[in-house]
Amino acid sequence: MGAFSLKSRGFTLIEMVTVMVILGVLAVGISNFLQFGSRIYLETNDRSQLIASARFAIERLNREVRHALPNSPRLIGNNQCLEFRPIKAAAIYTEIPLAPLPASSTIKVIRFDDSQFSNALDLVIYPLTADDAYFPSDKMSAIDSSNPAFDVTLDEWPITLDVPMQFTESSPTNRVFFIDKPVSYCIEGLVLNRYENYTSYRSDGVPNASASLMAEHLDANNISSFQVNSPSQLRSGNVLVKLNFSRNDEVVSFNNEIQVPNVP
């Protein structure tokens, strides 16, 4: 039987160049596809973060303003801050020093849910304007720090004021509100800050206290703002909030209307 041999045959130069060109075209296509997918992911992630940040700030602001003292929301700091007084409790009074009666340091109220009550609160009766909700006001008083604990066996509780008061108007429903110190939301540059537990303001009208960051990445080109509309006989008061966010060319805008209770 005759012997037989195989000759190995390699690639030609043309074949190798052809394969390299095809692989190059495929690599460019795959690279563009991966870059496009990465860009879509980053844009979606940026948008999601903006929306999450905005929703957190809007939801908290909604909740707090809805529980604010009627007619207390106002604009301060060259209209860059929204300020209001949070309600902690409310009651029906039976006796107050109302003009022309002489001033007194005691009022009496019907027993109420006092789980959020403390002697650090202020009380206010029939606030018709924002000025009535901030000191000095003849419709508001601080509670005496030595006010005794309520006797749960009684249906009527006395409350001691820190100074004698003579209230100028009575509430049509005999309602008294117990309110906390002011709270402010301020648009400062590219961030939204929240302030509480302050007693003074900076020269620009912003509360002089440490800020809590509520949201960031506000859009520098589209101005965010607050607007307070006073109540009338036909409608309740409301607060309009406009917040514009921007990050890596992603822009998200929120326009929100918050109804403020109008039963002082």
pLDDT digits (tens), the chain, 264 positions:
555 555 556 667 777 777 777 877 777 667 666 566 566 656 667 677 777 778 888 899 999 999 999 999 999 999 999 999 999 999 999 999 998 999 999 999 999 999 999 999 999 999 999 999 998 899 999 999 999 999 999 999 999 999 999 998 999 999 999 999 999 999 999 999 999 999 999 999 999 999 999 998 899 888 999 999 987 766 778 999 999 988 877 788 888 899 887 667
Whether residue 74 is found in the same domain as residue 94: no
pTM: 0.81
Whether residue 74 is found in the same domain as residue 107: no
N-to-C CA span, the chain: 117
> Would you say residue 105 lies in a domain?
yes
Tell me the C-alpha distance between 262 and 17, whole Å: 81
Choose the final residue of a domain: 141, 159, 179.
Answer: 179
> Would you say residue 255 lies in a domain?
yes
Whether residue 165 is found in the same domain as residue 121: yes
Whether residue 246 is found in the same domain as residue 192: yes
Whether residue 105 is found in the same domain as residue 217: no
Whether residue 76 is found in the same domain as residue 61: yes
Whether residue 168 is found in the same domain as residue 200: no
Give residue 39's pLDDT: 64
Whether residue 120 is found in the same domain as residue 165: yes
Give residue 7's pLDDT: 55
143 is in which domain, residue-wise?
87-179
> Would you say residue 7 lies in a domain?
no
- SS (HEC) of the chain: CCCCCCCCCCCCHHHHHHHHHHHHHHHHHHHHHHHHHHHHHHHHHHHHHHHHHHHHHHHHHHHHHHCECCCCCEEECCCCEEEECEEEEEEEEEECCECCCCCEEEEEEECCCCCCCCCCCEEEECCCCHHHHCCCCCCEEEECCCCCCCCCCCCEEEEEEEEEECECCCCCCCEEEEECCCEEEEEECCEEEEEECCCCECCCCCECCCCEEEECCECCCCCCEEEEECCCCCCCEEEEEEEEEEECCEEEEEEEEEEECCCC
Give residue 214's pLDDT: 93
Whether residue 159 is found in the same domain as residue 135: yes
> Would you say residue 36 lies in a domain?
no
Give residue 37's pLDDT: 59
> Would you say residue 209 lies in a domain?
yes
Give residue 149's pLDDT: 94
Whether residue 114 is found in the same domain as residue 233: no
Q: How many domains are contained in the chain?
A: 2
Whether residue 92 is found in the same domain as residue 172: yes
> Would you say residue 21 lies in a domain?
no
Choose the final residue of a domain: 179, 209, 224.
Answer: 179
Give residue 230's pLDDT: 82
Whether residue 188 is found in the same domain as residue 69: yes
Choose the final residue of a domain: 116, 149, 179.
Answer: 179
